[in-house]
């Protein structure tokens, strides 16, 4: 069996962390997709006193609603730069969250440590899907809840990543496309016979933050790490920059339901650990 190169892997993780520190992801979480975290916590059935791990938690889009439900919440993310805003949001909400820097593919928690393991459009961005799924299951007690929200390949965000792909830096060797986590069969395969009581449904998030396709483009170009990273990759080629500008604006126009309102599809997935 081929052994991974620790130095190469650490370099990949450093780039991944740096990408999500770009721009202002907390603005995306609080201004564009705040309802996702609340919907995930409601679907998970998290209750008072539950020990909850939010994997790839960002600035706490799901961790804070889980804490508001009375849970003891650990918010883990590879990019601790996001925690400062998360702490402010948690304080404003009047709840306590334990923020810990952690890699979704190598979580620093013991086996069977949590009653629920959740992730709101976070775990999907770890390059090795199977490693992340294995860790998600490992840290969860038998009978515990897995609850995930992930963008689908066919939905708006999945199409946005497809539009950016020709302009983006090549992914690390072996990395899988993030929107695969939005495919029910893929997630079921990752969990295998370790999961029971699977419920998976495609939901639509109404996004009305932007008044126009151009406003969406400008916001994501300034605030969303993967988009910023893609533009940096082509910064020396004005023609490609212009082409990507056009592709993203046209994508938003195709999804405009009127007045800039869009619906972004995601997979809401819950299961129990056998």
What does the pLDDT look like over 45-67, one tens digit per residue?
999 999 999 999 999 999 999 99
The whole-number pLDDT of residue 263 equals: 98
The whole-number pLDDT of residue 7 equals: 45
The percent helix, strand, coil of the chain (3-state, each to 5) is 50, 25, 30
For 169-184, letters b (16+ CB in 10 Å) and e give: eeeeeeebbbbbbbbb
The whole-number pLDDT of residue 202 equals: 98
In angstroms, the CA 69 to CA 210 distance is 30
Low-confidence ranges of the chain (pLDDT < 70): 1-8
The whole-number pLDDT of residue 176 equals: 95
The answer to whether the CB of 100 falls within 8 A of the CB of 37 is no
The whole-number pLDDT of residue 5 equals: 45
Q: Can you tell me whether residue 193 is helix, strand or coil?
A: helix
The whole-number pLDDT of residue 12 equals: 87
**Helix-then-strand count for the chain, H and E:** 11, 7
What is the tens place of the pLDDT at every residue in 150-178? 999 999 999 999 999 999 999 988 899 99
The encoded tokens of residue 53 equal 């791990």
The encoded tokens of residue 199 equal 């419920």
Q: Which of 187, 185, 182 is nearest to 151 (CA)?
A: 182
The whole-number pLDDT of residue 47 equals: 96
The answer to whether the CB of 55 falls within 8 A of the CB of 107 is yes
Homologous superfamily of the 9-208+262-273 domain (CATH): Vaccinia Virus protein VP39 (3.40.50.150)
In angstroms, the CA 43 to CA 137 distance is 18
Residue 114: φ, ψ to 5°: -130, 150
Please tell me the pTM assigned to this model.
0.95
């Amino acid at each position: 069996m081929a052994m991974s190169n620790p130095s190469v892997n650490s370099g990949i993780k450093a780039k991944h962390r740096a990408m999500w520190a770009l721009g202002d992801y907390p603005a995306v979480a609080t201004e564009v997709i705040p309802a996702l975290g609340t919907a995930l916590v409601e679907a998970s059935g998290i209750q008072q006193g539950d020990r909850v791990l939010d994997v790839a938690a960002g600035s706490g889009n799901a961790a804070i609603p889980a804490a508001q439900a009375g849970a003891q919440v650990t918010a883990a993310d590879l990019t601790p730069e996001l925690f400062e805003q998360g702490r402010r949001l948690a304080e404003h909400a009047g709840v306590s969250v334990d923020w810990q820097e952690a890699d979704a593919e190598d979580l620093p928690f013991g086996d069977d440590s949590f009653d629920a393991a959740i992730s709101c459009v976070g775990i999907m961005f770890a390059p090795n899907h199977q490693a992340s799924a294995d860790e998600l299951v490992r840290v969860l007690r038998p009978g515990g809840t897995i609850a995930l929200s992930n963008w689908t390949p066919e939905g708006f965000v999945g199409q946005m990543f497809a539009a950016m792909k020709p302009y983006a830096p090549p992914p690390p060797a072996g990395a899988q496309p993030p929107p695969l986590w939005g495919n029910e069969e893929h997630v079921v395969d990752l969990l295998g016979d370790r999961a029971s009581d699977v419920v998976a449904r495609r939901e639509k998030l109404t996004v009305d933050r932007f008044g126009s396709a151009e406003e969406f483009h400008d916001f994501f170009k300034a605030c969303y790490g993967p988009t910023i990273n893609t533009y940096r990759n082509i910064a020396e080629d004005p023609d490609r920059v212009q082409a990507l500008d056009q592709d993203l604006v046209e994508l938003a126009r195709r999804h405009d339901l009127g007045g800039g309102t869009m619906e972004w599809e995601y997979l809401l997935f819950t299961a129990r650990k056998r």
